[in-house]
Structure 1
Amino acid sequence: MVCPPDGVTAPARDTADPRRWPALGVGLVAAFMTLLDISIVNVAIPSIDRALRATPSDLQWVLSGYALTFGLVLVPAGRFGDLRGRRTAFVVGVALFTLTSALAGLARSPEWLVLARLVQGAAAGVVNPQVAGLIQELFRGPERARPFGLLGATIGISTAVGPLLGGLLIHLGGTEHGWRWVFFVNVPVGIVAVLLGWRLLPARPSTAHADRRGLDPVGVALLGVGVVALLLPLVQREQWHSPWRWLLLPFGLATLVAFGIWERRYGRRREPLFDLRLFQIRSYLLGAVIALVYFGGFTAIFFIVTLYLQDGLGYSALVAGVTITPFALGSAATSALGGRIVNRYGRPLVALGLGAVVVGLVAVVLVLRVGAGAPVPLLLAAPLLLAGLGSGLVIAPNQTLTLAEVPVPLAGSGAGMLQTGQRIGSATGIAAVGTLFFATLGTRGDWSLAFRHSVLLAAGIIAVALVAALVDIGRGRARPGRRHR
């Protein structure tokens, strides 16, 4: 059994660290910057294609390579932060991310850009688990709700605002070189984050169990192979057409099972890369499942909206970004609120948010059918605003509930595994929704129909997460003596 949180965290400080809020601010800025690069590059692809004369395979690797290496290093990087201190991992990760952003902006060939994106994604994977681990380390008990709410808002807003910011930068920089500013914009922010991170973040981990803690290289290798085997056929779905690629999925699942067996055996002697006993914490297990499924539908929305508006209807990158802005604004508004009230309402708040997202996406389909002939960006504004309001009540509160009972010495690896699930969910969702989109388009040749069918599939995926939340609420009411802390 996992010890109760109060029994495993570091000794309480007599006074709160006065630098904890500035340190959190630096961490959130870095997280925003790295997560933004997941979606901001989507609108730059046509410009990159023209400037570098890239092949479709090159362009796919520019997009998917980042996500692949990002998900690959999350858990090992979180573990390294638990062991060696979050400041070192954070500063090295941000410095590498800043350098590779500059190299990506200076790219003179598709191969150069792809390599820069691969390393940039790995650097982003080093940074992100440190932020969640930092919250666990510097904040205690119910006071974690607010910083976790801010982190959830950062995750949701960065994903939603990426197309808008990318479209604006391309508009200002011009179609030939504007795409370079999508990468250059990270450089000044990254330099400031490195300097402030080194000054403000705690240098060493606060734990008394260092004698049993190691990096677990076998666990790192098994987890890495399993994650790559799962993600590779999904992120390369448009360019890798061989049916043999799907054999990687069962191989990846088998490797992850082997990872679990190894971690259980390794944990008898030393602390493993990821402590599987975290899944015995109901809040962590359910929250991880909800995050996995929700990101499968959530991330796919922006993919198909930008694809439909730019390639299907001929709108500019800037208009496509502006169209998604209501979602970002709604998510920003409710994320801050959700972080403050999640301790009062718990999982029902997440269920309310999931329901609002589903209703908003169904409304997207209805307004497109009813309002045929009207400008599509205007038709989508209100439904996307409703979906954004719901999303803010999902990501931030679910992040808080999921990590609330994770012991501080396991905070980095626990957050890394949670974000790994989000990356796998995103890749799976985009693959499924994208496949339906292109299959419908190829059969019917109707962009609007393909878009509507894809939105309904995304709504159905999110509805699965809603069912999981409702089941948990029902079980909690059936056993009122076991309330979430």
Structure 2
Amino acid sequence: MAESEGYRDSAGRDAGSAAGPDTPDPRRWRALAVCLVAGFMTLLDVSIVNVALPSIREGLHTPESDLQWVLSGYALAFGLFLIPAGRLGDARGRREVFMAGLVLFTLSSAACGAAQSSTWLVIARLVQGLSGGLLSPQISALIQQMFSGRERGRAFGMFGTVVGISTAVGPLLGGLLIQAAGAEEGWRWVFYVNLPLGFVCLLLARRLLPDTPSAGPVRLRDLDPLGILLLGAGVLALLLPFVQAHQWPGNGKWLLLAVAAVLLAAFVGWESRCGRRGTQPVVDLRLFRVRSYWLGCLLILLYFAGFTSIFFITTLYLQSGLHYTALQAGLAITPFALGSAVAASPGGRLVGRYGRPLVVLGMATVAVGLAATALAVHLVPGRGAGWAMAAPLLLAGLGSGLVIAPNQTLTLSQVPVATAGSAGGTLQTGQRVGSAIGIAAVGSVFFAQVGSAAWSTAYDHGLIVSVAFVLAGLVVALADVGGARRGRDRTRQSAPSPADR
């Protein structure tokens, strides 16, 4: 894609024309910075609340069931709106949808901070998750639109840095805010921190973000409302039993997985019908004929199942098992964030040269790092565990930086820019589904062991499940590498030799 194609400023002028038809607009990096700050806010709120839960319980006298929804409600609403929001941005305009999501996210953050009851907070978190889901797919779509070639890899590398840092630094930042503001009211600043960032981003987004060339007035039927309804209900039925695994006793909740299968099958049938009739579906199923796309979606689902569950059980182990403060628990996880930040940008630059083998290297490094973390906790039990896990978590973070951004670049590399929003939303929905499944599976093993063994043993068992998810993703990556190599061999064998020409 030529970068000057369709890149227009807020006044509707062709931003590439000022510098020449083939000259990239110099403002694209500033526009990227706006996207990255907004992405940081939405992803930060997935993890920062973990260490704030004791403060919320104390400040609002919140029951355990509501605390669960403070965490899971955000992730659930976030995941439900990713694909419809991506489709809306493709059709109506990514900048417009980005700004609408940013306004709603900033206002709902203020509502979370001002909550006077647990019900108020849960509702505000649901709205915050919805707005995060509205905003997030526009970021990957805008990167697709503004950059091409090696620059796109660099841009996704920077976005990968943001993903890694926001996920891992959330507990540290939350701990600092609670330490500064006090245990009873400190949790409010976990949400208020979004207000100045959101206000500044909104001012800059209007000025710097490009229009979507193919956007125009949209009728409701153009957004495939039945497809959105079937997809939303299917994703909801799929995620709920995992999100509520510890709140809904018994095995009846798993029947929702069968309901999800029926709804998602109906969704696929409806979308196929839309394609045959020539109408625009919410998800273009032809994307899943692209090997790099469907394998990348599966890989990242498995990786996020192992990746995000690490922080969930680590903060629980350190705070509840070893009685670390919120700040101390956050500091213990920081090496992972540092490693991810260091490796993500080079990963984005190198993916164009090395391709999927770079992701294989990253996932193998993460698996080794997590296994070493479990060994470190086993060898250094007690309050020294936080220091013992620093080096292995740093190694795992370095590996993670070589997974997220490079995989996103490879997964979206053959996606048409016109469908970049819905494609990016589908990819991120896989991340959210993976996170929910991973936290439920790892959490179940962890809590089962806590009831019958020491906290360190429970942590060891939880990490084993996390490593298993990462290894499953590694198998997918290796299968992709092998398939690509066989495809190249067949191409070379079928090409005529010079003597035959």
1:377 aligns with 2:386: yes
Query: What residue identity is the alignment partner of 1:396?
Result: A
Matches within 5 A, 1:297-308: 297-308=306-317
- 1:215 corresponding residue in structure 2: 223
1:330 aligns with 2:344: no
Among 251, 268, 278, the residue aligned to 1:260: 268
CA deviation string 1:243-267 (max 9, x = no partner) = 2211111111221111111101011
- 2:249 corresponding residue in structure 1: 241
What SS is found at the alignment partner of 1:226?
Answer: helix
Residue 350 of structure 1, CA deviation: 0.2
- 1:422 corresponding residue in structure 2: 431
Query: Aligned partners of 2:274, 2:220: CA distance in 1, in Å?
Result: 11
* Aligned partners of 2:91 and 2:214 also within 8 Å: no
Query: Aligned partners of 1:172, 1:227: CA distance in 2, in Å?
Result: 39
Query: Aligned partners of 2:296, 2:50: CA distance in 1, in Å?
Result: 28
- 1:471 corresponding residue in structure 2: 479
Residues 117-126 or 200-209, more deviating = 200-209
Among 329, 347, 357, the residue aligned to 2:356: 347
Query: What residue identity is the alignment partner of 1:300?
Result: S
Residues 206-215 or 19-28, more deviating = 206-215
Among 317, 321, 327, the residue aligned to 2:326: 317
Among 44, 47, 60, the residue aligned to 2:68: 60
Query: What residue identity is the alignment partner of 1:90?
Result: F
Query: Aligned partners of 1:10, 1:27: CA distance in 2, in Å?
Result: 18
1:85 aligns with 2:93: yes
What SS is found at the alignment partner of 2:398?
Answer: helix
Query: Aligned partners of 1:304, 1:210: CA distance in 2, in Å?
Result: 44
Among 396, 403, 407, the residue aligned to 1:394: 403
- 2:109 corresponding residue in structure 1: 101
Residue 237 of structure 1, CA deviation: 1.4
Residues 121-130 or 474-483, more deviating = 474-483
Residue 203 of structure 1, CA deviation: 3.0
What SS is found at the alignment partner of 1:314?
Answer: coil
* Aligned partners of 1:74 and 1:129 also within 8 Å: yes
Query: What residue identity is the alignment partner of 1:87?
Result: R
Query: Aligned partners of 2:43, 2:378: CA distance in 1, in Å?
Result: 33
- 1:164 corresponding residue in structure 2: 172
What SS is found at the alignment partner of 1:202?
Answer: coil
Residue 233 of structure 1, CA deviation: 1.3
* Aligned partners of 2:93 and 2:215 also within 8 Å: no
Residue 286 of structure 1, CA deviation: 1.0
1:445 aligns with 2:472: no
Which 5+ residue runs of structure 2 have no aligned equivalent? 8-15, 492-501
What SS is found at the alignment partner of 2:182?
Answer: helix
- 1:183 corresponding residue in structure 2: 191
Query: Aligned partners of 1:405, 1:438: CA distance in 2, in Å?
Result: 42
CA deviation string 1:31-51 (max 9, x = no partner) = 010000000001000000011
Residue 471 of structure 1, CA deviation: 1.4
Query: What residue identity is the alignment partner of 1:281?
Result: V
When Rg is computed on C-alpha atoms for both structures, the one with the higher figure is 2
- 2:122 corresponding residue in structure 1: 114
* Aligned partners of 2:92 and 2:218 also within 8 Å: no
* Aligned partners of 1:100 and 1:120 also within 8 Å: yes
Query: What residue identity is the alignment partner of 1:383?
Result: P
Query: What residue identity is the alignment partner of 2:190?
Result: V
RMSD across aligned positions (CA): 2.0
Shift in alpha-carbon separation, 1:10–1:212, aligned structure 2, 3 A: farther
Residue 373 of structure 1, CA deviation: 5.1
Query: Aligned partners of 2:378, 2:406: CA distance in 1, in Å?
Result: 34
TM-score, normalised by the number of residues in structure 2: 0.92
Query: Aligned partners of 2:73, 2:293: CA distance in 1, in Å?
Result: 28
Residues 204-213 or 257-266, more deviating = 204-213
Residue 480 of structure 1, CA deviation: 1.6
Shift in alpha-carbon separation, 1:31–1:291, aligned structure 2, 3 A: same
Query: Aligned partners of 1:123, 1:349: CA distance in 2, in Å?
Result: 33
Query: Aligned partners of 2:380, 2:484: CA distance in 1, in Å?
Result: 43
Query: Aligned partners of 2:449, 2:381: CA distance in 1, in Å?
Result: 19
CA deviation string 1:379-423 (max 9, x = no partner) = 000010000000000001101111111100100000000000100
Query: Aligned partners of 1:273, 1:481: CA distance in 2, in Å?
Result: 36
Query: Aligned partners of 1:482, 1:201: CA distance in 2, in Å?
Result: 43
What SS is found at the alignment partner of 1:240?
Answer: coil
Query: Aligned partners of 2:106, 2:310: CA distance in 1, in Å?
Result: 28
1:411 aligns with 2:391: no
What SS is found at the alignment partner of 1:241?
Answer: coil
Among 138, 141, 144, the residue aligned to 1:133: 141
Query: What residue identity is the alignment partner of 1:473?
Result: V
Residue 142 of structure 1, CA deviation: 3.3
Shift in alpha-carbon separation, 1:482–1:102, aligned structure 2, 3 A: farther
Give the count of matched residue pairs. Answer: 476
1:363 aligns with 2:344: no
Which 5+ residue runs of structure 1 have no aligned equivalent? none
Query: Aligned partners of 1:147, 1:287: CA distance in 2, in Å?
Result: 18
Shift in alpha-carbon separation, 1:15–1:453, aligned structure 2, 3 A: same
Query: Aligned partners of 2:103, 2:161: CA distance in 1, in Å?
Result: 24
